[in-house]
Amino acid sequence: MPAESYQDDGGDQVEGGGEMTTMNVAKYKGLPKGLEGDRAVAEAMRQMNPDVVAAYPITPQTEIVMRFSEFVSNGEVDTEFIAVESEHAAMSSCIGAAAAGGRVQTATSGAGMALMWEVLWVASGSRLPIVMHAVNRSLSSPLNIHCDHSDTMGMRDAGWVHIFDENVQEAYDSAIQVLRIAEHPDVMLPTLHALDGFIIGHSVERMETLPDEAVKEFIGTYTPKYSLLDFEHPATFGPMDLQDYFFEHKRQQVEAIQNALDVIVKVGQEFGELSGRPYGLMEEYCMDDADYVLVALGSTAGTSKVAVDMMRDSGVKAGLLKIRCFRPFPHKMVSEVLGKRKVVGVLDRSISFGAQTGPLCLEVITSFFTHGVSPKVVNYVYGMGGRDITPAHICEMYKELVEIDKKGITGPVQRFFGVRD
């Protein structure tokens, strides 16, 4: 099914692709709260009441599992909480629990995700619908605990679905949706839910939570098709698989993750019927007549919207394309939305060492090439190690896009914004 767009309360178009619809009227009234992003995710986990959570604390993710462990201790959930000795053990425990038919979640950041490296592929290759809440953090060395996307971009080819958040409300909403996405029979893949460390994870914002019964209604009951505990129908997970069928099983994963494009939209629309907040694969902001467009992931999308308004006030036709779903990448929709723009700037909060651009820009440029469009494109690497990015900074990028339109691309395609020479 095609993705759809809707109108927000202010009348701005929020796009997932396809035809325009109006924002849904919520079936349930939300409860306003002031929560940090980490606590919002923990609250969503409490409402989902997973069978197993296996996790190891690491900044800036610690508060998610710390808070959830309190729910376990207080008897608010009946989850089996496994306090493991490492993140490698955390993902290994999740794999075993998911293979036994359980609903399983974990959370991590930065080096913790890197320590899971080997078993990330085991989770996806075994088609286990594990949910991982990842609070983005830079990777050493030098040691840094603040936000960039090096950790999640490092696992972009591990066969997981990737969803990024803009703010605390999205962190809560997406935490619930990713469970349905992972468990969908057309997908059955582990799903990564990413929120920017400290910027979202430790910032308090006004948001709304759904009633417990609404979340339970939305996620439903999980009945796995295969389980290690189903002794009537024995199954093997992660067997030896050499030249005979390995390639075919990898090809099946390719089809499954592509199926997620439609599933993410369907789940986002159903969540909108419940909450009044529908979701798609991406979001357009002031794009109807935009000539100069930035493409962004995560919390920077919110900052960029302020910059778009500032540039519009000065007479520049600026726009923003926020990518919510990075894996699978919605390449066709991206090329359709950006193909006729004058200049496109792609923001990457990570470095792909030795490549010509950052990971997001590589995807955007490939989308253009494969779909036969050719706007001017530059890549801005920014915010590494948590370096601040403000609306004024982003306005500088838009001004540079205007100059590129006049003079062409005279400098390098990849530009390191805000770094000292």
* Number of Cβ within a 10 Å radius of residue 115: 18
282-416: what CATH class? alpha beta
Q: Using an 8 Å Cβ cutoff, are 162 and 152 in contact?
A: yes
Per-residue pLDDT, averaged over 335-360, amounts to: 98
Q: Is the pLDDT of residue 19 over 50?
A: no
Task: Give pLDDT tens digits for 363-414.
Answer: 999 999 999 999 999 999 999 999 999 999 999 999 999 999 999 999 999 9
pLDDT at 290: 98
Q: Using an 8 Å Cβ cutoff, are 176 and 218 in contact?
A: yes
pLDDT at 201: 98
Q: Same CATH fold, 282-416 and 24-275?
A: yes
Per the model's pLDDT, the better-predicted residue between 211 and 13 turns out to be: 211
Q: Using an 8 Å Cβ cutoff, are 255 and 159 in contact?
A: no
* Mean of pLDDT over the chain: 94
Q: Is the pLDDT of residue 11 over 70?
A: no
Per-residue pLDDT, averaged over 198-211, amounts to: 98
Q: Which residues are paired to 229 by β-bridges? A: none
pLDDT at 23: 53
Q: What is the 3-state secondary structure (H, E, C) of 277-299?
A: CCCCCEEEECCCCCCEEEEECCC
pLDDT at 25: 81
pLDDT at 27: 92
Q: Residue 358 — very low, low, confident or very high, per pLDDT cuts 50/70/90?
A: very high
Q: Using an 8 Å Cβ cutoff, are 333 and 17 in contact?
A: yes
For the entire predicted model, the pTM comes to 0.94
Per the model's pLDDT, the better-predicted residue between 260 and 15 turns out to be: 260
Q: Using an 8 Å Cβ cutoff, are 150 and 138 in contact?
A: yes
pLDDT at 3: 36
Q: Which residues are paired to 32 by β-bridges? A: 208
Q: Is the pLDDT of residue 24 over 90?
A: no
Compute CA 216 distance to the chain's CA centroid, rounded to the nearest angstrom.
22
Q: Residue 421 — very low, low, confident or very high, per pLDDT cuts 50/70/90?
A: confident
CATH of 24-275, one of 3.30.230.10, 3.30.530.20, 3.40.50.970, 3.40.47.10: 3.40.50.970
Which are the contacts of 267, defined by CB distance < 8 A and separation ≥ 6?
177, 180, 181, 184, 279
Q: Is the pLDDT of residue 7 over 90?
A: no
Q: What is the 3-state secondary structure (H, E, C) of the chain?
A: CCCCEEECCCCCEECCCCCECCCCCCCCCCEEEEEEHHHHHHHHHHHHCCCEEEECCCCCCHHHHHHHHHHHHCCCCCCEEEECCCHHHHHHHHHHHHHCCCCEEEEECHHHHHHCHHHHHHHHHCCCCCEEEEEECCCCCCCCCCCCCHHHHHCCCCCCEEEECCCHHHHHHHHHHHHHHHHCCCCCCCEEEEEECCCCCCCEEEEEECCHHHHHHHHCCCCCCCCCCCCCCCCCCCCCCCCCCHHHHHHHHHHHHHHHHHHHHHHHHHHHHHHCCCCCCEEEECCCCCCEEEEECCCHHHHHHHHHHHHHHCCCCEEEEEECEEECCCHHHHHHHHCCCCEEEEEECCCCCCCCCCHHHHHHHHHHHHCCCCCEEEEEECCHHHCCCCHHHHHHHHHHHHHHHHHCCCCCCEEECCCCC
Task: Give pLDDT tens digits for 96-142.
Answer: 999 999 999 999 999 999 999 999 999 999 999 999 999 999 999 99
Q: Is the pLDDT of residue 58 over 90?
A: yes
Per-residue pLDDT, averaged over 349-357, amounts to: 97
Token representation of residue 183: 């468990």
Per-residue pLDDT, averaged over 314-322, amounts to: 98
Residue type, 253: Q
**For the chain, domain boundaries:** 24-275, 282-416
Per-residue pLDDT, averaged over 159-177, amounts to: 98
